[in-house]
C-alpha cells in the first residue's frame, strides 16, 4: 500500500558481467573559489562536480585522506555562488509516473562487487522526479574512479517502449543503495538507500522501509520557505573481503550551505541493530536562518486515540507513533504524534542532549492489520549524539494530512547558535535502528540505556459519561496514559506507585494511578483547560521519590471552529 518513495510534505506539499565504465578527465586546475588543490598524482584525476579536480589517488600515505579532500571541496564550494543542478534526463524521463519509473529496475546480476564481497552496490535510474545528477565514485586501494551512466545496467518495462529515455554518460545517476545479508546468510537485503535531495533510509534486521533521515534541514517551517540541499556526489570505499562495515562519503550542496559527510555503515545481524556513524562538516554559503541537525522525516496518519472518520479498517496507519528524547539532565521524554487540524510546531528545549528519535513502538500486526504496508515492521530510529551540541531544542513539526503517501512529520535538533555566512560547524552522531525499546545492547557503553517504564497507550476525551445530565464543559478533558515495562514488571500490585503531573495552562485535578491487568500502571487525570488556549502537559510515575517511568509529554489544543 506504501510506495518505495513518498511525496515529501514538509511545510508545503512538495515533490520536491560487470558494471558501468569508469571515466577520468583532465579539467583546468582552478575552481570557482580561486584555490588550487595539487593532486597526489597530477595525471590521474577524476572530475569532481564542484569544479575541482578529484585526485585519483585520494589516500596516499602521508597525504590528505579522502574525507579531507571532500571537506576541502565542500569548503571551496561554499565560497562561490550557488548553481542549481541541471536536470540530466529527457522530458519523457522527467514526466514518468511513479508506476512507470518503478518499471525501470536495476539488474541484480550487474551489481557492483557481486559475489566478491558481503556488500553490493546498486544504482537508481534518473527520472520520475529524481532528475538531478548525482555522481558516484568508487574507491579501491586509495584510487577513485567515476561510474559513467550505463543503460545496460537496467531493465526497462514494456510500458516505456517508444519513449526517449536517454541520459548522457557523464550525467551520473539519481542515487544508490547498499545491500548486505541482513536477515539470512546468502540473501542480500537493502540496508541503506540514498535517493532524492539529502534523503536516505536505513534498515535493521526484520524491518521494512519507513522513516527517512536527511543530511541536513534548512528553514523547516520558516516563512522564507524550506530549502532542500542535495547530495551531489558520493564516494563508496571498497571494504575488505570479510569486512562487516563500509565507508561512504557524500558531498552536499544547497543555496545556503554545503557539507562533507562521512558515513560508516555497520549492518545489523540477528539481535544487533544497523548502525550508521555520521560526521557532518558544514559550511555556510549565506546566513542559515534555521539549521536542523540529524533530521528525521516520517508519516503519521492516525493511531488509536485520534482516529479520523473511522472509514479505515486499519486501527493504526503510521511509520512512527512518537518522538523520544534523552535530555542532557538524563530525563527520558515521550511525546505521541498527532494528525491535527493545523500545522503544529513544538520544541523540547535542552542543553547538551544525549539523543532523540522517532519510534514505532507497537510491533503487533493486530494493531495495524495491513498485510501489504506492514506498518508493524517499520523501523524506529535513534540519533545518539556524540560530543556537546550546546543549547537548543528538539523541534517537532507535525503537518495535517489525509494521505499515508505524504511524509508529514519532521524532528531535528535546532541549535540556538546561528550559522553565519562563511562559518563552519561539525556534528557527529550515530544513527541506530531498533524496534520498541533502546536496550543496553543497542546504545554505546557510555550511554545509559532506557530502563524505565514506557508509555504504551494514550487516550484523551471529554470528561463526561454518555448521557450524563448537566455534563462539564468540553474544555474538561479526561487524560489516560498507560505505562508498562521497566521497574513495573517487578513491582507487586500493592506497591505505592504515584504520579507527578504538570500543565502549562489550565489546571489538573483527580490525578490517580491504577494497576493494569498486565501489571502496568495507568495514570489518569482531568485537564480543566482554558478557553482557546493550548495546554502542554507532562506526567510520569514515581516510587517514593524515584522516577520509574519516562515522562509523557503532550500539547493539547482546543479544536478548531467548524
**Pick from 103, 100, 107, 102: nearest CA to 121:** 107
Least reliable range by pLDDT among 97-101, 370-374, 538-542: 97-101
Q: Is pLDDT larger for residue 304 or for residue 72? A: 72
Same domain, 226 and 363: yes
Round to whole Å and give the CA distance between 279 and 70.
Answer: 12
Q: What is the pLDDT of residue 186?
A: 87
At residue 532 the predicted structure's pLDDT band, cuts being 50, 70 and 90, is confident
Same domain, 155 and 45: no
The Cβ-side half-sphere exposure at 98, using a 13 Å CA radius, reads 8
The Cβ-side half-sphere exposure at 464, using a 13 Å CA radius, reads 12
At residue 89 the predicted structure's pLDDT band, cuts being 50, 70 and 90, is confident
Least reliable range by pLDDT among 74-78, 440-444, 514-518: 440-444
Residue 445 located in a structural domain: no
Residue 448 located in a structural domain: no
- The cell numbers describing 142, all together, are 586509495
Contact 246, 281 (CB under 8 A): no
Averaged over 337-346, what is the pLDDT? 93
Residue 36 located in a structural domain: yes
pLDDT at 509 over 90: yes
The CATH number of residue 477's host domain is 2.60.40.10
Same domain, 240 and 131: yes
Residue 1 located in a structural domain: no
pLDDT at 150 over 60: yes
Give phi and psi for 177, each to the nearest 5. Answer: -140, 150
Least reliable range by pLDDT among 124-133, 357-366, 370-379: 124-133
Same domain, 485 and 546: yes
Q: What is the pLDDT of residue 311?
A: 81
Tell me the residue range of the domain where 166 lies.
Answer: 7-16+90-434
Q: What is the pLDDT of residue 160?
A: 93
Determine how many CB atoms are found less than 10 A away from the CB of residue 542.
15
Round to whole Å and give the CA distance between 215 and 410.
Answer: 13
The CATH number of residue 341's host domain is 2.70.98.10
**Percentage of the residues of the chain whose pLDDT score is greater than 70:** 88
Round to whole Å and give the CA distance between 536 and 534.
Answer: 7
Same domain, 42 and 167: no
| Residue with grid cell 545509559, as numbered in its chain | 448
Q: What is the pLDDT of residue 308?
A: 56
Residue 45 located in a structural domain: yes
Q: What's the N-to-C CA distance of the chain in angstroms?
A: 32
Contact 429, 294 (CB under 8 A): yes
pLDDT at 297 over 60: yes
Same domain, 204 and 334: yes
Same domain, 459 and 376: no
Averaged over 490-504, what is the pLDDT? 97
At residue 59 the predicted structure's pLDDT band, cuts being 50, 70 and 90, is low
pLDDT at 60 over 90: no
Same domain, 425 and 468: no
Residue 83 located in a structural domain: no
Same domain, 174 and 104: yes
- State the burial class of residue 10 (Cβ atoms within 10 Å of its Cβ: 0-12, 13-18, 19+): buried
Which string of b and e fits 198-221 if b means at least 16 CB within 10 Å?
bbbbbbbbbbebbbbbbbbbbbbb
Q: What is the pLDDT of residue 62?
A: 54
Cα-Cα-Cα-Cα torsion 196, 124, 407, 413, nearest 10 degrees, comes to: -50
Residue 442 located in a structural domain: no
pLDDT at 90 over 90: no
Q: What is the pLDDT of residue 430?
A: 98
434, 464, 488 - which closes a domain = 434
pLDDT at 20 over 60: no
**Which CA distances in Å does 98 have to 3, 4, 7, 239, 561?**
9, 9, 10, 34, 37
Judging by DSSP bridges, how do beta strands 275-284 and 424-434 pair with one another? antiparallel
404, 434, 464 - which closes a domain = 434
In the 8-state DSSP scheme, what is residue 173?
B
Domains held by the chain: number: 3
pLDDT digits (tens, 9 = 90+) for 398-424: 999 999 999 999 999 999 999 999 999
pLDDT digits (tens, 9 = 90+) for 195-230: 999 999 999 999 999 999 999 999 999 888 999 999
Contact 526, 507 (CB under 8 A): no
pLDDT at 40 over 50: no
Averaged over 354-383, what is the pLDDT? 97
Q: What is the pLDDT of residue 229?
A: 98
User: What's the chain's average pLDDT?
Assistant: 88
At residue 442 the predicted structure's pLDDT band, cuts being 50, 70 and 90, is confident
Query: Cα angle vertex 119, ends 114, 123, to 5°?
Result: 70
Query: Cα angle vertex 250, ends 259, 64, to 5°?
Result: 85
384, 406, 434 - which closes a domain = 434
Name residue 178's beta-bridge partners: 121, 192
Same domain, 465 and 378: no
pLDDT digits (tens, 9 = 90+) for 173-200: 999 999 999 999 889 999 999 999 999 9
Residue 505 located in a structural domain: yes
**Which CA distances in Å does 365 have to 313, 319, 377, 456?**
13, 13, 9, 15
Round to whole Å and give the CA distance between 190 and 306.
Answer: 33
Same domain, 241 and 325: yes
Q: What is the pLDDT of residue 42?
A: 26
Same domain, 189 and 97: yes
Round to whole Å and give the CA distance between 230 and 172.
Answer: 14
Averaged over 362-384, what is the pLDDT? 97
Amino acid at each position: 500500500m506504501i510506495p518505495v518513495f513518498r511525496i515529501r510534505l514538509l511545510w508545503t506539499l512538495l515533490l520536491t558481467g560487470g558494471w558501468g565504465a569508469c571515466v577520468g578527465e583532465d579539467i583546468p586546475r582552478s575552481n570557482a573559489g580561486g584555490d588550487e588543490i595539487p593532486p597526489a598524482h597530477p595525471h590521474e584525476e577524476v572530475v569532481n562536480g564542484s569544479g575541482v579536480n578529484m585526485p585519483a589517488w585520494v589516500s596516499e600515505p602521508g597525504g590528505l585522506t579522502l574525507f579531507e579532500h571532500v571537506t576541502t571541496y565542500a569548503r571551496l564550494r561554499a565560497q562561490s555562488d550557488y548553481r542549481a543542478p541541471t536536470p540530466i534526463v529527457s522530458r519523457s524521463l522527467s514526466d514518468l509516473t511513479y508506476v512507470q519509473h518503478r518499471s525501470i529496475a536495476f539488474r541484480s546480476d550487474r551489481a557492483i562487487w557481486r559475489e566478491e564481497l558481503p556488500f553490493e552496490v546498486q544504482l537508481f535510474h534518473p527520472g520520475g522526479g529524481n532528475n538531478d545528477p548525482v555522481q558516484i565514485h568508487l574507491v579501491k586501494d586509495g584510487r577513485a574512479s567515476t561510474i559513467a551512466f550505463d543503460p545496460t545496467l537496467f531493465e526497462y518495462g514494456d510500458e516505456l517502449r517508444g519513449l526517449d529515455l536517454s541520459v548522457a554518460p557523464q550525467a551520473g545517476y539519481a542515487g544508490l543503495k547498499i545491500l548486505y545479508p541482513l536477515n539470512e546468510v546468502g540473501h542480500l537485503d537493502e540496508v541503506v538507500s540514498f535517493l532524492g535531495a539529502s534523503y536516505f533510509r536505513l534498515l535493521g534486521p526484520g524491518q521494512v522501509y519507513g522513516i527517512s533521515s536527511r543530511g541536513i534541514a534548512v528553514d523547516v517551517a520558516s516563512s522564507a520557505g524550506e530549502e532542500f540541499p542535495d547530495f551531489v556526489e558520493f564516494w563508496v570505499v571498497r571494504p575488505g573481503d570479510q569486512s562487516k562495515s563500509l565507508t561512504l562519503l557524500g558531498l552536499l550542496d544547497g543555496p545556503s550551505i554545503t557539507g562533507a559527510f562521512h558515513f560508516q555503515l555497520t549492518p545489523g545481524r540477528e539481535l544487533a541493530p544497523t548502525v550508521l556513524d555520521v560526521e557532518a562538516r558544514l559550511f555556510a554559503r549565506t546566513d542559515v536562518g534555521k539549521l536542523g541537525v540529524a533530521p528525521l522525516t516520517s508519516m503519521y496518519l492516525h493511531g488509536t486515540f485520534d482516529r479520523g472518520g473511522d472509514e479505515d479498517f486499519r486501527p493504526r496507519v503510521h511509520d512512527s507513533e512518537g518522538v523520544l528524547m534523552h535530555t542532557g539532565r538524563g530525563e527520558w521524554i515521550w511525546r505521541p504524534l498527532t494528525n491535527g487540524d493545523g500545522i503544529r510546531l513544538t520544541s523540547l528545549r535542552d542543553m547538551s542532549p544525549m539523543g532523540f528519535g522517532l519510534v514505532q513502538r507497537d510491533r503487533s500486526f493486530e494493531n495495524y492489520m495491513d498485510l501489504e504496508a506492514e506498518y508493524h515492521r517499520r523501523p524506529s530510529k535513534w540519533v545518539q549524539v556524540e560530543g556537546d551540541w550546546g543549547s537548543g531544542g528538539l523541534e517537532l513539526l507535525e503537518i495535517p494530512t489525509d494521505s499515508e503517501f505524504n511524509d508529514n512529520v519532521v524532528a531535528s535538533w535546532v541549535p540556538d547558535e546561528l550559522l553565519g555566512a562563511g562559518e563552519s560547524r561539525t556534528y557527529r552522531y550515530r544513527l541506530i535502528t531498533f524496534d520498541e525499546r533502546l536496550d543496553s545492547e543497542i546504545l554505546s557503553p557510555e550511554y545509559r540505556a532506557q530502563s524505565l517504564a514506557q508509555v504504551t497507550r494514550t487516550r484523551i476525551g471529554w470528561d463526561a459519561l454518555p448521557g450524563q445530565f448537566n455534563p462539564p464543559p468540553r474544555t474538561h478533558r479526561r487524560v489516560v496514559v498507560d505505562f508498562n515495562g521497566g521497574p513495573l514488571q517487578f513491582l507487586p500490585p500493592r506497591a505505592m506507585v504515584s504520579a507527578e503531573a504538570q500543565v502549562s495552562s489550565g489546571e489538573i485535578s483527580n490525578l490517580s494511578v491504577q494497576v493494569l491487568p498486565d501489571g502496568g500502571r495507568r495514570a489518569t487525570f482531568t485537564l480543566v483547560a482554558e478557553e482557546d488556549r493550548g495546554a502542554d502537559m507532562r506526567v510520569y510515575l514515581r516510587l517514593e521519590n524515584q522516577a520509574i517511568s519516562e515522562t509523557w509529554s503532550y500539547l493539547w489544543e482546543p479544536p478548531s471552529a467548524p
